[in-house]
């Protein structure tokens, strides 16, 4: 009976310690993620070229940044049909095996240049007042 | 291989779209270590960028995860048959745990889909192994998974290109919620002990 009670106590202490560990570890990470979220500008439709990653495909990048796909292929010096759905990492491995990271860096440059050369969007006209 | 499983998954998600999401959610729900929540948030963001159709993505994603959970339930039932089942049924502790799960399992099934996601696979196995009725399991599991798909996918859609920040927040929030539940359990045990001691005195 006493042994069973001791065993129960150990289980309770283990649950308590595990709970404290999880709360501290994930609490700090949640706090950090929350401050990252709060500190960032809320621009869900305006991705940053620096956020381009190696797993992204040219087809996705041209859609997300609203740039003509041909422009990207031309600047990266690759042919369109077979590379549209390849990741930048795979394209790098195929075309520039001696220069790791080249395609990612070049894509960021190309997209930044394109966004800077694109005329800014015209301001939205103010909404007409609704009739009473 | 330099790229991680997550990067490979995201790349496949961009290449094959909604069927790739369905596949990842299926294998993740069945127990393989796949970053399913991250994929779901990313899919929501890709839908916002009009790269994926949100209706098809939500439908196939939900189908995949429901199949995966049902598979997990089936595995739980399969591994506790025959001799193992007979020996388990002789244990009063197992019988007591089985009855508790049968009475209160619905909440565990529902909340482990989207809040305590780390527990989803063990809950599937326990439900299958404890002979929890499949119809009831399916109902709670479907409701929980629909909440998960629309909540996580919806947050990805809302935050669009900033989905990585949301995903980081959500993945850690699940761990924090689990820690809080464990603390609550420990406190309830402690209070029960205190009451028992007070009664004995």
ipTM (interface pTM): 0.75
Q: Indicate whether A132 belongs to any domain.
A: no
Q: Indicate whether A102 belongs to any domain.
A: yes
- Residues A53 and A71 grouped into a single domain: yes
Check whether A1 has a pLDDT greater than 60.
no
Check whether B76 has a pLDDT greater than 80.
yes
Q: Indicate whether A130 belongs to any domain.
A: no
Domain that holds residue A60: 49-117
Q: Which of A123-132, B43-52, B174-183 has the lowest mean pLDDT?
A: A123-132
What's the confidence (pLDDT) of residue B2? 41
Q: Indicate whether A131 belongs to any domain.
A: no
**Whole-structure pTM value:** 0.83
pLDDT band of residue B53 (cuts 50, 70, 90) is: very high
Asked if the Cβ–Cβ distance from B179 to A36 is below 8 Å, we say no
Asked if the Cβ–Cβ distance from B190 to A12 is below 8 Å, we say yes
Q: What are the pLDDT digits (tens) for A39-97?
A: 777 777 778 898 899 999 999 999 888 888 888 888 888 887 788 889 999 999 998 99
Q: Indicate whether A65 belongs to any domain.
A: yes
User: Which residues in chain B have Cβ-Cβ distances shorter than 8 Å to A26?
Assistant: 172-176, 178-179
- Residues A56 and A113 grouped into a single domain: yes
User: Which residues in chain B have Cβ-Cβ distances shorter than 8 Å to A21?
Assistant: 179
**A122 in B contact zone (CB under 8 Å):** no
Closest Cβ–Cβ partner in A34, A37, A60 for B14: A60
Q: Indicate whether A53 belongs to any domain.
A: yes
- Residues A78 and A112 grouped into a single domain: yes
Average of per-residue pLDDT across B24-37: 93
What mean pLDDT, rounded, does chain B reach?
90
Q: Indicate whether A95 belongs to any domain.
A: yes
Q: Indicate whether A15 belongs to any domain.
A: yes
What's the confidence (pLDDT) of residue A38? 80
Domain count, chain A: 2
Distance from CA of A105 to the nearest CA of B (A): 17
Helix (H) or strand (E) holding B26, with range, is helix B18-30
């Amino acid at each position: 009976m006493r042994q069973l009670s001791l065993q129960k106590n150990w289980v309770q202490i283990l649950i308590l310690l595990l709970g404290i560990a999880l709360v501290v570890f994930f609490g700090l990470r949640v706090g950090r993620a929350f401050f990252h979220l709060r500190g960032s500008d809320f621009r869900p439709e305006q991705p940053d070229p620096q956020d381009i990653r190696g797993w992204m495909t040219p087809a996705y990048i041209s859609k997300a940044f609203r740039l003509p796909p041909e422009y990207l292929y031309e600047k990266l010096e690759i042919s369109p049909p077979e590379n549209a759905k390849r990741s930048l990492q795979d394209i790098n491995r195929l075309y520039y095996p001696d220069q790791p990271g080249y395609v990612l860096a070049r894509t960021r440059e190309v997209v930044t240049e394109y966004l800077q050369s694109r005329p800014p969007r015209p301001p939205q006209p103010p909404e007409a007042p609704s009739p009473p | 291989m330099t790229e991680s499983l997550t990067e490979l998954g995201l790349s496949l998600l961009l290449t094959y779209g909604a069927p790739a999401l369905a596949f990842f959610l299926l294998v993740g729900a069945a127990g393989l270590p796949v970053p399913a929540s991250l994929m779901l948030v990313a899919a929501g963001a890709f839908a916002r960028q009009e790269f994926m159709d949100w209706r098809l993505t939500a439908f196939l994603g939900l189908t995949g995860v429901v199949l995966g959970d049902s598979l997990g339930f089936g595995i739980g039932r399969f591994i506790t048959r025959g001799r193992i089942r007979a020996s388990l049924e002789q244990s009063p502790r197992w019988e007591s745990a089985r009855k508790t799960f049968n009475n209160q399992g619905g909440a565990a099934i529902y909340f482990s889909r989207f809040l305590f996601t780390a527990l989803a696979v063990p809950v599937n196995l326990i439900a299958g192994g404890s002979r929890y009725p499949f119809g009831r399991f399916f109902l709670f599991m479907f409701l929980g998974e629909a909440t998960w798909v629309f909540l996580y996918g919806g947050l990805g859609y809302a935050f669009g290109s900033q989905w990585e920040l949301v995903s980081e927040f959500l993945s850690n929030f699940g761990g924090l919620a689990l820690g809080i539940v464990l603390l609550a359990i420990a406190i309830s045990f402690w209070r029960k002990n205190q009451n028992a001691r007070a009664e004995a005195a």
